[in-house]
Amino acid sequence: MGFGYGLFSSGYFLLVFIPTILLSIGSQILVATAFSRWTRVRNTAGLTGVQVAERIIRNAGLQGVSLEGTPGERTDHFDPSKNVVRMSQEVATTPSVAAMAVVAHELGHAQQYAERSLLIQMRSFLVPAMQFSPMVSYALIMAGLLFNSLGMIQVGIIFYGVVVLFMVLTLPVEFDASRRGLKLLREVGLMQSSEDQGGARAVLTAAALTYVAAAVTSLLNLLYYISLLSGRRND
């Protein structure tokens, strides 16, 4: 008995929806667990996120980077349009291993932009397309299924391919930012103990898994859409 080729068929729920939900929940649990543990562990230097950022900026030639606060939890990010690292209150004011790791990661992104990293340029090139590609792809695929138009499904899949490419390119960008962040911490003498080193890696590894889950989700969706196209051709 087949699963059917509808967009929300039993095949979609078994092969895409359920696995991606499990991936998302699993990665979020790992992130929450890592942050919860290492937020309670004080970094050896006793520096808050803001102080860590200021030390790295002074020593890494990133003087043009400014610091701002941002509401919420785990909302820390680097804004390349304004060259600013925004930190949640917990990260900005807590002298923890987790705060140190998060700040270093975001400054790793700042360094990528400052050095015009090829990876960051490639991903940035796709950012404008990401503003419309997801909705256009879903609309075309659904319309193609509704009107039995293989051409519309094909174009929808092409648009969704942009989403997948962006998600896949995000992985090396994030891994590189974490690598740079750990290096920046070592260079300014903030990896002083095994807890500093192990905790920072644990936090950044857990955070990276969320991007892995997102990339796998996009790939599973793409493969399913391609299977829809193949199924319609064989009908």
Write down the mean pLDDT value for the chain.
93
Does residue 90 lie within any of the structural domains?
A: yes
Does residue 1 lie within any of the structural domains?
A: no
Does residue 169 lie within any of the structural domains?
A: yes
Q: Which of 68, 90, 106, 187 is catalytic?
A: 106
Predicted pLDDT of residue 15 = 85
Task: Please name the residues in contact with 226: beta carbons below 8 A apart, sequence gap of 6 or more.
Answer: 157
Distance CA 103, CA 190 (A): 12
- Helices 49-59 and 150-187 cross at an angle (nearest 10°) of 80
Does residue 166 lie within any of the structural domains?
A: yes
- pTM of the full structure: 0.91
- Is residue 99 within 8 A of residue 39, CB to CB? The reply is yes
Does residue 205 lie within any of the structural domains?
A: yes
Asked which of 4-13, 80-89, 114-123 is least confident by mean pLDDT, the reply is 4-13
Put residue 193 in one of left, alpha, beta given phi > 0 → left and psi -120 to 50 → alpha: beta
Q: Which helix (H) or strand (E) holds 168?
A: helix 150-187
Tell whether the model's pLDDT for residue 59 goes beyond 80: yes
Among this protein's residues, is 106 annotated catalytic?
yes
pLDDT band at 2 (very low <50, low <70, confident <90, very high): very low
Q: Which helix (H) or strand (E) holds 164?
A: helix 150-187
Lateral strand order in the sheet of 66-69: 66-69, 84-87, 77-79
Domain count, the chain: 1
pLDDT tens digits for range 8-34: 677 788 889 899 999 999 999 999 999
Calculate the alpha carbon distances from 185 to 1, 95, 233 in Å.
56, 14, 55
Does residue 2 lie within any of the structural domains?
A: no
Q: What is the mean pLDDT of residues 94-99?
A: 98
Predicted pLDDT of residue 232 = 72
Does residue 195 lie within any of the structural domains?
A: yes
| H and E: helices and strands count for the chain | 9, 3
**Structure tokens that stand for 217 in this block:** 């989700």
How do strand 66-69 and strand 77-79 relate by DSSP bridges?
Answer: unpaired
Which residues partner with 67 through β-bridges?
85
Which amino acid, residue 90? Answer: E
pLDDT tens digits for range 125-169: 999 999 999 999 999 999 998 898 999 999 999 999 999 999 999
Structural domain boundaries, residue 229: 10-234
Does residue 5 lie within any of the structural domains?
A: no
Distance CA 111, CA 61 (A): 9
